[in-house]
Structures are given as structure tokens and as C-alpha cells.
Amino acid sequence: MLMLNKPLFLSVPTILLLLPFALVLLTAFMFNPFKKSPEYEIVEVRDFSWPSFTFKYPVFKKWENISLDQEGCELMIKDNKNYTFITIRVRIEKSVLFTLFSSKKNKQGIPYILDSKNQELRFMLGDKPGRGEIIIKIFKLPIKNQDIHGFSNDQFFKTIIESFKLVNNIQEELAISIARQDAEKIYKDLSIYNIATSLEADGWHVDYELKSLEMIMMGGGPHYIIDSKTGKIISKRYEQ
């Protein structure tokens, strides 16, 4: 005859007796010093500076020998053992609609947008929409989970967001004015030129380009590099 085992029920006194032991085991598990630590570990925090902004970024264990390239604005991490390639690029673009999508500001009051899904962080450049935005983008090959081979997107972006700030530079209009005052001493008519400006690592670049190729016989215009902090003309070149 088939005998069925009766379900085992513990009495209330037995449960009360075992409860302290269960709490001890749970506490030991939660605070176990031998429990596996996270994959990533920040060994130091470094500074990145550009003419118009600065921020800090973490360096993770195993990546101590890398840094963001101040010229190319690019950080590349290669882990050949695990076939992981991580590239971090920083670039500046023009943007008009930034504030329509951003409602967050860091402690320095700079609006930002964090797109965790696409691993991209954007900051508004300047105090008015349209001046541009700074884009910090992480590329990974192959794309795996968020914390991968000692690198954490969350920790990387968190450090940048907390430290990001704009640098007080002379405005574009002032750089153009400084260049124009010098150019007027050499050129009689500046109306035949278009003015192109860009803020680079070495300062404001102000270039006078002919509006029409038909005017090429009249010679080219002046080209300036102006210190973005002091407004001093670093270099100038006349094409006549």
C-alpha cells in the first residue's frame, strides 16, 4: 500500500527558536566581507579642460594608462583579452532646441540631457539656446551589459555631471570686434568678406572669406586666432 508522507509543519515555539539563527545568517550574508565586489573600481579622477568648459572623469582599474586626448577629444579603451573596445568622444555642435528637451541642471546650473539608452550626455553651451551644446558619447564594441570589464557608464557620467562647468570666455561678438578693429587698419573694404568664427583649443578663430570667387583677384582676407580668455590676438595672417 502506497504511503504518503505528511507535510512537515513546525510548531510556533520551534519557529521562534530558529528565528534568531535565521537573522544571524541573513546579516552575515548581507555584510559578508568576502562577498564579490563590483566589476569596476575607480582608482583616480582626472581633469579635462577645453576653452569653453571643464569636467572631471573617473579612471577605472585596468585603464590607468589612458586619458582623454585634449586635441582629438577622444578616449579609447582597448581590452583585447575580452574583445572590448570603448571609445569616448567629446564634441561641440550647434543646437537651438536644447532647452525644450532638458529640465535638469547640475549643481553649477548647467542644463543637461542624459540618454542612458544611447550612452550619451549633452550639456548646453552658454546661457542662451542656439550657442551650441557639448556632447559626450560612449561607443562600445561589442555592446554588452552596462558594467562591462571594469567600466561603468553610470559612474562615468555621474562624475562628469557633478563636475561639469563652463569657463568664462570672451563672447564671439567681442572676438569679431577685436579682429575687425585690426583688419580695418589694413583692408579698406571688409564688406566683400564673410566672417567665419569657431572656438578651438587655442582660442577664437576669426576668418574673413571672400563672398564670391569672382573677387579672387582682390586678394584674400585676414585670419586671426584670439585668446579666448584675454582677447589678445595670438596670431594674424593677411592674404592680399
Of 106 and 101, more confident: 106
As annotated, the residues of the chain forming the CATH 3.10.450 domain(s) are: 172-238
**Quick one: pLDDT at residue 32?**
44
Mean of the per-residue pLDDT values for the chain? 76
**Quick one: pLDDT at residue 61?**
80
pLDDT band for 212, please (50, 70, 90 cuts): confident
**DSSP state, residue 96:** S
Would the pLDDT of 156 be above 70?
yes
Mean per-residue pLDDT for 12-33? 61
For 57-88, how does the pLDDT look when each residue is reduced to its tens digit (9 = 90+)? 998 887 766 666 555 565 555 554 555 567 78
**Cell digits of residue 157:** 557620467
Residue type, 5: N
CB 90 within 8 Å of CB 134: yes
**Cell digits of residue 63:** 585603464
CATH class of 42-166: mainly beta
Q: How far apart are CA 221 and CA 240, in angstroms?
A: 7
pLDDT band for 52, please (50, 70, 90 cuts): confident
Strand ranges, E, within 109-158: 111-115, 120-124, 133-141, 147-148, 151-152
Mean per-residue pLDDT for 20-43? 59
CB 182 within 8 Å of CB 233: yes
Query: 180 Cβ partners below 8 Å, 6+ apart?
Result: 190
Burial (CB count within 10 angstroms: exposed 0-12, middle 13-18, buried 19+), residue 240: exposed
Q: Per residue in 166-191, is it b (16+ CB within 10 Å) or e — as a string?
A: beebbebeebbebbbebbeeebeeee
Classify domain 172-238 at the CATH topology level: Nuclear Transport Factor 2; Chain: A, (3.10.450)
Would the pLDDT of 23 be above 50?
yes
Backbone angles phi, psi at 84, to 5 degrees: -115, 130
Tell me, yes or no, if the pTM score tops 0.85: no
As annotated, the residues of the chain forming the CATH 2.60.120 domain(s) are: 42-166
